[in-house]
């Protein structure tokens, strides 16, 4: 019997941490399905880069804040898997998310509803929808934030929902234990991507502040996170379950 590699599904894989994850998995020979919202050209660039790194990748459109589309998305996942001669995935990385910078006093109901829809509700129901397509013994990684441990001005609403995601992770780990599916949280610190308008990457003052608050003396880059996620999904991480793993370089120690 052929020893086929596991298959991953990564949300928000067209750029930033998601892109880094897809490419880190590809370097291990693991093919990925990944989602993008609107940036089709960037998604195609990732599929090309993944192939060059050593594995296949397919980009699928998805708005992770639109739960009413998840059933149709699951069908598209099944169709993509069928083209690979498969019918299940092994790894799910819930990475897609949106930023929000405002005080608790000034955040509007509309802003909070959208933040909730993408950063928590979408993760909850997308995972629920995809559970029948995840092999027993698989892995789920939910992407949280260092902001659940330390406080930064105007980050309260965003951090609160990431905190909810961390609690969800533990309950998912408990409920999926009988299927031998491990569920963990990876909580990055400040990373130099285009997330939140690229404020860490492109604003020298913000970048310097982050570097000064980090024990390792710099802001993170996507390549600090993707390989960590790939390692956690590997067989070496099989006994890690229901954990919050912070990758921040030691921010605010």
Q: Which domains does the chain have, with CATH numbers?
A: 8-188+225-246 (3.40.50.720)
Residue 195 pLDDT: 81
- Among left, alpha and beta (phi > 0; psi -120 to 50; other), residue 198 is left
For 148-168, what is each residue's pLDDT tens digit?
999 999 999 999 999 999 999
pLDDT of residue 2: 52
Instruction: Check residue 47 and give its pLDDT.
Output: 98
Cα–Cα distance, 193 to 195 (Å, whole number): 5
Nearest in space to 8 (alpha carbons), one of 138, 143, 119, 132: 138
Catalytic residues, by residue number, are: 158
What region does 94 belong to: left with phi over 0, alpha with psi -120 to 50, or beta?
A: beta
Q: Please give the pLDDT value at position 203.
A: 85
pLDDT at 196: 73
d(CA 129, CA 103): 33
Residue 54 DSSP SS3: coil
pLDDT attached to residue 199? 83
Residues in the chain with pLDDT < 70? Answer: 1-2
Q: What's the whole-model pTM score?
A: 0.96
């Amino acid at each position: 019997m052929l020893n086929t590699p596991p298959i991953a599904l990564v949300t928000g894989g067209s750029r930033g941490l998601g892109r880094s994850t897809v490419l880190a998995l590809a370097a291990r020979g693991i093919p990925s399905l990944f989602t993008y919202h609107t940036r089709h050209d960037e998604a195609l660039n990732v599929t090309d880069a993944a192939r060059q790194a050593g594995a296949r990748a397919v980009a699928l459109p998805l708005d992770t804040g639109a739960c009413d589309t998840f059933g149709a998305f699951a069908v598209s996942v099944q169709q993509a898997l069928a083209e690979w001669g498969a019918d299940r995935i092994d790894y799910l990385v819930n990475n897609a998310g949106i930023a929000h910078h405002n005080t608790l006093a000034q955040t509007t109901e509309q802003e909070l509803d959208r933040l909730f829809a993408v950063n928590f509700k979408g993760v909850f129901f997308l995972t629920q929808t995809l559970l029948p397509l995840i092999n027993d013994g698989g892995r789920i990684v939910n992407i949280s934030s260092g902001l659940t441990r330390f406080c930064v001005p105007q980050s309260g609403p965003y951090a609160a929902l990431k905190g909810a995601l961390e609690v969800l992770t533990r309950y998912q780990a408990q409920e999926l234990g009988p299927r031998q599916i491990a569920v963990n949280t990876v909580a990055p610190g400040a990373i130099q991507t285009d997330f939140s308008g690229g404020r860490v990457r492109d604003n020298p003052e913000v970048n310097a502040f982050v570097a000064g608050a980090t024990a390792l003396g710099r802001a993170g880059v996507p390549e600090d996170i993707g390989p960590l996620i790939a390692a956690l999904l590997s067989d070496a991480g099989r006994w890690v379950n229901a954990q919050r793993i912070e990758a921040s370089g030691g921010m605010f120690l």
